[in-house]
Each structure stands twice: as C-alpha cells, then as structure tokens.
Structure 1
C-alpha cells in the first residue's frame, strides 16, 4: 500500500491528519516563496476530496492546478511535493542537503531545489541559553544612527552577506517612473487640442454628410526606453552582482527596458531578466555570460552595441545608463569615438561610476579621460543612497543637454 493510500485509510474517520499535513505543506510552499492564500488552501482541500488519495499523480496534478499560478513556480512546487509527501523525515535531512550544495559548485542544483531545501531546514536553535529578564540600563541615543540609515550609506563592497540581502530587499522597493514623453502617435480625446479631420468626416457619414461635431485627438505620451550597459569585469564584479537586482526590479516594473552586460564581449540579457523570480533570472544570466569577472574591453563593447543594437533599442528618446569604472584593458583605443556615437544616438547618457565614492577622485586613467567629455551626467553608484538619487534624477524634469565640444 502506498503512503497516500495508508494516509487515506488512517484519516478516513476524521480527516484531521490529512488536513494537518496539507496545512504543513502550504506553510512549506509559503516559505519557499509561493503565494498561497486561504482560498487556495480551501480549493486544495476540495480538490483532494475529488480524486483518488492513493494515486500520487492525481493528487500532485490536483494540488498543482489550484495552488500554482505562475509558470516559474512549477519547479518549486514539484520539488516541494516530492520532498514533503515522499519522506516524512525530509525536514530533518534538508539541512544536510543544503550543506551538500556548497561542495557542488560545478553541478549546482536548480534554484527551486535550493529554495525548497532552505524552506524545509528547521531554524537553528539559539547558542545562548535564555537569560532571566534584567533591568535594562538607560541608553544614550543622542548620537546613535539606526541600522537602516547605516545601510543606506554603506558601500556595497564593504557589506556582509546579511547586509547584502537587506540591500537587495531595499532595491526591489525602488520605483523608477521615468518622465513621459510625447510620441508621434495620436489617440482620440474629446478634449484634445488637435482636430481630427478624418475622424470628423467619418462621423459625418452617419449624419448624411452633415458635420455636427468636431472629433479631436491628442498625442500619446510614453516613458522613453531605458537601456543599461553594465560592466561585469573583475573590478566591477561585486557592484555588478547587486546592480543586477536593480536592473531586474526595473525590468519587471516597466516595459521597454533593455539590459546588456559586457566584459571582454557584449551580451544581451534582457529576456533573461524578465523572469519574475530573481533566482531563476540570474541562473539564466549565468548560463549565457561567459566572461564574468574577466577583463574589460569597453571600447569594443560600445562599438559592437552601436553597430548591432543602437537602432533597435535607442529609438524614441532612450535614456542610457552606462555602468562602469572606466578601467579599460585596451587603454583609450576607440573609446572616445564609441562613447560619442552612443551619446548622439540617445536622448540622455548617464555614466554611473563606483569610483566616485572617493572624495579625492581624479580622472587619471586614459579610459575615464576619453569617455568623460561625451556623457551628459557623471554620477556615483556604490550604495543605496546613490541609487535613490539616480531614481529621483530620472523621475524629475530632464536637464538641458550639453553641447559636444
């Protein structure tokens, strides 16, 4: 007799054990990141009552049909179902499974397995025994700074793993409403400023040729496209890992966002970052980017972008975010020309450089001196405050463009 049949036989009189197991399974799915509400739990209980409890495949299909709404959650649900309903001791063995992940760098498990393993791992007990309550001494808080404020100003490169996770959660909350710009298209609007002669004549045909009202229209406004070119070389690796979370959040918050990564070559990762699940998105990016933490060829990468992608993604007044420290292994070869062409192809070119975190920064490298005259803005990007300042700048009125020298 299978485990499901045994459980059905034992719970036929009251059904309490099956209900408890179903609730425990729901809690596991929630810890793994799935959105399962009370209505889904009720639907799952009803679905189980309509199928043969001894057939594992039917139960799996019934629960999956009512509890999973997003395609990227299917793998997580399958892993959780397999672990939870197959082995009652899986919760105790999940910690060992999670430890094995660190020894298999070349054969990494899919993100869904890691998420389910972490969800099933019991919380670690406190190493310190509970102490009896004591009277707390008065604290001097006049000159203290909260952890939240400290996190906002801390450099990404100096953060611990816990602080990086907190920073990623803050980044996902950032909203980037770019200033809407008028396009060439029109839409009907009774209060529009422009008279639509064609629509007026078509409407008059219903009245025997008499023009009784004037049809009006106005231009359609849309935020301009946003294009990000992010350096993933060795000197930018730590910042690029965190800034990818920013690009992922922006990509899933608005349309017409295009992301490119470059080190020694240029890679388009727009499609991969559109996945709602951040872990799945970054796993897909890791499969197609071969030059992470390698050398830097900024000039060649920008030239390739100008030649193959500029006409496709830089239309309708696009805003370009160039994220790099400007340290090119080829010096300044072709860098000034490529940056100038990129600037002339977009409405606004913003260079984000983590080296600006230093107060005494001086553009001494050849690459920085070659690029600097051809950008509209030169901004730091090394902590949460700099990202918030960038969002405010993109959301506000656009400054006038400097004329090229």
Structure 2
C-alpha cells in the first residue's frame, strides 16, 4: 500500500517539483494550499488567489488531488500578533521562522495527520536524516538557497513526519526538472519579502497596523541631527532610508539603537563604527531540534540572520534558561527580535530569539536599553 504524503503547495516551482518527485517515488500525493492571509494589494489583486490557481494547475498536470485549507485565524493568532508585538517592543521579528514553527509544521501537520497522512512534505531547501532513532535537520545541498535557518524551531514530532523532496538538489536542477516536465510554474519567479507583505511597501504596511510617532535622530555623541518617521520603520544596522545624508564626515550613517521611552533613534557614522558591533547576545525561548539542550559550554557556529556566513561562537545556558552566545570576533548589527540559529557542521541544532546584545564598547550600552 502506498504511503500517503500531504504536500504544502505554494504555487511556486519548488513545491511543484516536490509534487513531481514524490509522485515519481511512488507516494500517494495530495496537494494542499495554505491560505494564511487575506488581503488585496494596491491593485486589488489577492496574490494568494493567484498562487492557489498556479498550484491547482500543477496538481492537474500531475493528476494529484488538490485542496485548500484556511489557516487565517491560526496565522493571525500565532504569527501576525507576535509580529506586531515584537515591533511594538522596538524589535525586528522574523515571522517566517514563526510561520514554520506554528503553522507549516504544527497546524498543517496536525491537519494532515487527521487525513491519515504518513508524511507531510514542503518545498524547502533542507534535509532530514534519521540516525539512532533521532531525526536531524541538515542544511540544504544548495548553500545559496539553504532554508534550515527558517526551520530551526521545529522539533522531533514534525521532523519524523517530514520530507523535503528538493533538499538534495540545487535550485538550477529544480528549474530544469520543472521545464523538462513542462510544469506550469517552471518559469515563475521566486517570491520575495515577508509572506503577508510580499512586494508591497513595508513601511506603509506597518503604518496600517501600528502607531508610529515622529521623533529625534541623535548621533552617538549626543547631537540632534534630524527627525525619524517612527521607530518601527528602522532596524539595527540599517543604512538606507534614514534621511540624514550630507551631515558630518560624508560617510554613510547607520542605525545604532533605539530608545522607545524617549522615542529616540540613535545613529552612528561610518561602516566600521564601534557602536555598531557587539561581542555577545542573550537569546530567549531556545528551541532545540533534539528537544534537549546539548552539553554546555557548546562550541559551534551561528547565524543571526538569513544568508549570513557562519560565525564561530561559544554558547552557555543561564540559570533562567536563556542562552549566552559569545562570538569569537565582534559582529556588526546583531538585531534583537531576530533568531540566533546554531549549527554543528551541516546539522542545525536549534534557534533562540535574540533578546539583547552586549556592545563591543561598554559606553554604548545605553543604545538598546528600553
């Protein structure tokens, strides 16, 4: 009897080729489109409708059943509310990490199991390896597309039931397979941006849901040099869009910190300014793929944002369960709200939300104290 796999189909080429590969491998494949967000763009078009139609066309081509499931409430309650709360705290969240933790590998998995699925599948560039009864999350073969960073907060229950059909392939190979089999999405461009914002203006989107108030821009020497449009519109290390060109030495300005209580945006001039660097961080709410913390202190590598090169670190567990992650060398623009994802070689160990950072120069400790 064929094993049943319920595949999350997004309307993109990766999940389309995943459907093709699963069918060729002899699975009973059912395509399921997750509708997580309902909003039209400025042209009155709901991209979820377009994506669903594209997924349906591919399912028809491959002769597999196709359905849609509405997770809008779950997404609002578990991901979008978190996203807004983090911005209100002056932090910069990563909703894609939370979407995987709460929706794709939680709500979607639970729904699939009710449909007697043996496995779920997703078009992520990552791999699962079973060893000694445990399930390990490995980086995808295509290092430029590896998505293990976004999967760092899922556990054994989900991994034991998950297949990543394209994880062992390069993106170029995925495109070639789609074209070879004339899949409808073969030439469809990859989606960019946060899932519920897409390619719309990010600042306008935030203004729709959060109050933003103009305030002072102050440099690290205490000089008032301009006005900001609301702290929610800025993130640590940001260079573009600050609006204070032509001041000082002529070097670019970077966001160095925020003070929520006083509504101040702090900036520093020059890309190598010490105020932009930290030596360690405190991470909260750690989630371990093995569901058990490794032995501490732990020497490993970390990424503090997607596509960042691996950074050698030493991790210790604090008494309150938070992590102290010390970098071998100072790192620029480590941002509270983002996720510190830990690796041992090709294996992803888990992820922790960045709570605070320790500046390279202690005199800049005031920059991010709220």
TM-score (norm 2): 0.25
Q: Which has the higher contact order (CA 8 A, sep 6+)?
A: 2
TM-score (norm 1): 0.23
| Higher relative strand content | 2
| Higher relative helix content | 1
